[in-house]
Structure 1
């Protein structure tokens, strides 16, 4: 007999020793009619209090749906744990907003409804962004927006080196630019290659930009991507500090004014305006030319499974309210996200032309769990970051480092 999704969630989660969880649904019972009263929303934005535009939007969406929204903001990791435990206990929130790689984990654990079950229309969403929430042909949420990576540059440093950033279209052009910057007495490029998911996130544009696939880490293309990074360090075009850099510390290096380029995300736009020097942004180039696929960040609005399925009628209204064009524009501006639909992206660029490069980057981006990798992705990402750390530190050459990574990933994903 097939095991129900609720039972699957319980079996998968039973071994987790997690902290306590607040009750999320006091209206259990299959009543057959959409309940009124309180509807719970959990999100990963604890930085927003009740006076913020985000919380005001949640409240307004509840009012429009004829219910009261009870919202709780958690740190991202804490939110995932609490969502799993709540599903085990039958206390899931009505709406759950989670980082896009987590969607596959929760769906695999039997925590989430599909968009078909809750009748959420995803037709206008860019397919490459929606793919992060798709597993086995089913969609488990809708993106609230996305961020990704590009290259910030210091105009003064490039001018001194005689580099035109608009002329950089491929890896060879970028490396040649870095050589000129070094010759001019400045530093080349800074990024994060730390041994965590943050490092993998920053490596993926180069890995995917080579034509490599996460199912074969040690392909010739993957080795070429890692060789690019290791050669930059060997030749003094990138600092050894990248081995320990987070995206924040990498940005702090760029903000000193000594570096030509920084690989970083939309979330640094406000900080870029505070650097005191003129900056610009170009997409990360692929090896052969064009925009490299960078990984998408950002959250999905999902609807956890409820015992009382009549609640889904109101849940649908809440999800649609949070993701409709007008509200998505306001929310994505607040979160420094690029919208998930072309119509809102066009509106963003019209208001702020600086976002054009980010819209282009998001259009070329892909989810880390895309290609139906789902819950396999974390089991691939860890060997990947272990591999590039080994190569960058000099303890293995790129080929050997990625061969070891592939062996580990293949065993973990059987």
Structure 2
């Protein structure tokens, strides 16, 4: 498209609210100059959501090394994850996009629909080794926009001492019925059952999705019988005292803090808590979230995509593709994903991670079953669906509506 028509389209996109907030890790704010150096063919700009990593970090050194390998200099800008989408839209509107943009995966479809990103057909980025379920988070309208640099997701941490005292063998937890039975035993033994986040934000939706998808429900039908069964499960746990009422206000951080007291049997949380789990002072284990009738439920994927924004000078794509390929190579993915506490997006690197740390096995299993929030070609429809989902959760768990009525209202609002 010509420059003026692209500006008009991006102006419309820029005024839209980017409602999908990051739910995986919290980063402090920070950025440097945002000007692009497109006029200088020897300097390539990279924007990322990792302000916690300074110039001396392994991540910054990797960017520079990839630049050296490609024969160019790297100018890096780090933003808070929640700021990056709007910064990217504004830069595109001004024809000043970075050469590489590393962005939270649910935002990829928003930027793609706005015309900000090139497709892998255009930029020739090879994604053949990436697990299809992870790549789907960056696909829209039959096109792929970038490649994942790593993934995280949700699973159930458990306290071995609490389960032992309650006479629960964790290997017996295979579905919702057996999990609920385990929670009943834990409560009878005088301990607390399970904690999670059901807060009225994207964080709450993120935590509910494994149960929603594990029931067989689809985000295009929030009021299905399967969806009602998932919300009824959570409602029943609160009613029976298996989960605390604090879940209504819990973030994933405060939920983890409850589990860290040592009183709870289970906590739904993510790979980003592994370092805290090691410091908890009690033996723990991890199992994937079970599906309603067994098997591993699909949990939502967190993590970022490496994308190549549209440039006025298409000749820059060749070098940008080399930089993206370097960042996501087998060797570099292993080092980067270890730093970020991510599971790699390719089977080869996942195997390498498990060989180095057997505790990552349940997380790899969870990621293999995981699903992008914008998958199923939901794209920019997802934020509105998610908002209605968390409102339904809040209504049902607070007792203001039944699970069925809450989800019926949610589906009507989405339409």
Question: One fold, TM greater than 0.5?
Answer: yes
Specify the alignment match of 1:41 in structure 2: 46
Specify the alignment match of 1:170 in structure 2: 175
| Equivalent of 1:283 in 276, 283, 288 | 288
Residue aligned with 2:82, SS = helix
Specify the alignment match of 2:396 in structure 1: 391
| Equivalent of 1:89 in 91, 94, 97 | 94
Superposition deviation, residue 26 in structure 1: 2.9
Question: 2:214–2:297: 8 Å Cα contact kept in structure 1?
Answer: yes
Specify the alignment match of 1:32 in structure 2: none
Which structure 2 residues correspond to residues 258-277 of structure 1 after superposition, within 5 A? 258-277=263-282
Superposition deviation, residue 4 in structure 1: 8.2
Q: Given the superposition, is the C-alpha separation of residues 311 and 330 from structure 1 closer, same or farther in structure 2, using an over 3 Å criterion?
A: same
| Equivalent of 1:25 in 23, 36, 45 | 36
Superposition deviation, residue 14 in structure 1: 5.7
Structure 2, unaligned stretches of length 5 or more?
19-30
Which structure 2 residues correspond to residues 84-163 of structure 1 after superposition, within 5 A? 84-163=89-168
Partner Cα separation in structure 2 for residue 14 and residue 103 of structure 1:
14
Question: 1:41–1:96: 8 Å Cα contact kept in structure 2?
Answer: yes
Specify the alignment match of 2:369 in structure 1: 364
Partner Cα separation in structure 2 for residue 180 and residue 3 of structure 1:
65
Asked whether 1:216 is paired with 2:221, we answer yes
Specify the alignment match of 1:257 in structure 2: 262
Matched pairs, number? 403
| Equivalent of 1:355 in 338, 343, 360 | 360
Partner Cα separation in structure 2 for residue 174 and residue 5 of structure 1:
55
Superposition deviation, residue 16 in structure 1: 6.7
Specify the alignment match of 1:304 in structure 2: 309
Specify the alignment match of 1:340 in structure 2: 345
Q: TM-score, normalised by structure 2?
A: 0.94
Superposition deviation, residue 55 in structure 1: 0.5
Residue aligned with 1:151, SS = strand
Question: 1:369–1:375: 8 Å Cα contact kept in structure 2?
Answer: yes
Which structure 2 residues correspond to residues 180-191 of structure 1 after superposition, within 5 A? 180-191=185-196
Partner Cα separation in structure 2 for residue 62 and residue 5 of structure 1:
33
Question: 2:299–2:370: 8 Å Cα contact kept in structure 1?
Answer: yes
Question: 1:21–1:86: 8 Å Cα contact kept in structure 2?
Answer: no
Specify the alignment match of 1:6 in structure 2: 6
Which structure 2 residues correspond to residues 234-249 of structure 1 after superposition, within 5 A? 234-249=239-254
Residue aligned with 1:77, SS = coil
Deviations 1:104-134 (A, max 9, x none): 0000111000111111000000000000000
Question: 1:5–1:111: 8 Å Cα contact kept in structure 2?
Answer: no
Question: 1:118–1:313: 8 Å Cα contact kept in structure 2?
Answer: yes
Deviations 1:347-398 (A, max 9, x none): 0000001000001000000000000000000010000000010000000000
Question: 1:8–1:109: 8 Å Cα contact kept in structure 2?
Answer: no
Structure 1, unaligned stretches of length 5 or more?
29-34
Superposition deviation, residue 27 in structure 1: 2.7
Residue aligned with 1:76, SS = coil
Q: Given the superposition, is the C-alpha separation of residues 299 and 138 from structure 1 closer, same or farther in structure 2, using an over 3 Å criterion?
A: same
